[in-house]
Structure 1
C-alpha cells in the first residue's frame, strides 16, 4: 500500500495537552463562581471523566480501500472495521473524518499522530474531499 492510502496513527500528545488546558480554563473560571471545596470536587470529577475517556479504544490504522471505503483498526480489537467516509474536514491542528453510518463516531486525527509527509497527504485529501 502507498503511504497516501495507509495511515498508521500514534497516540497524540497535542490532544492530551488540549484536554488538560481546557480543563484548567474551566476550573479557573469555576473558581471565580463557586466556593473552593466545590471547585476541587468538580476538578476531581472532571479528571476522573477525562481518565475514562482516555481509556476508550483508539484507532491505530486507517487505510483507504476504495474512493469512499476505508478500513479502521482499533488498538484493542483484532477485527478490522470497514466504514464509508462522508466528509474529511481540515481544522489545521486536527482533521475530522465523518462517516456515512451515524452510529460510527467521528474520527479526530491530531497533527502529531502522523508523520509530516502523511499529515500533508491527509490535508490534501481533505481539500479534495
Structure 2
C-alpha cells in the first residue's frame, strides 16, 4: 500500500504534456497541462523502446518525456519512430 502511494506521488510530480508539435528539424513546441505557455524545445535524443519512446531535451528545465504508443495518433507515432531511427 505504501509503495502505491509513493508511485502515485511520483506520478503527480511529473508535468503532463498537453501538446507536442514538430516545428522544424529539431525544434519542437511543447505545452504542459495547467500551463498556458507554449515552450520551444530542441530534442537532444529520441530512444525507441518498442511500446514507448523517450524524448530527451537540450534544455535542462524540461525533464525527459515518455510517450506511449496509445497516447498519440498513428501518424504522429510513425514520425517519432522515424526521428528515432535517423539519430
2:78 to 102, 105, 120: 120
| Higher strand residue share | 2
| Higher helix residue share | 1
Match of 2:36 in 1: 78
TM-score (norm 1): 0.60
Larger radius of gyration: 1
TM-score (norm 2): 0.85
Q: Secondary structure at the match of 2:31?
A: strand
Where does the alignment leave 5 or more consecutive residues of structure 2 unmatched? none
The Cα of 1:107 is off from its aligned counterpart by: 0.7
Superposition misfits of 4+ residues, deviation over 3 angstroms = none
Q: Secondary structure at the match of 1:102?
A: coil
1:80-100 CA deviation, whole Å, 9 max, x = no partner? 111111111111111011111
2:19 to 50, 61, 68: 61
RMSD, aligned α-carbons: 1.5
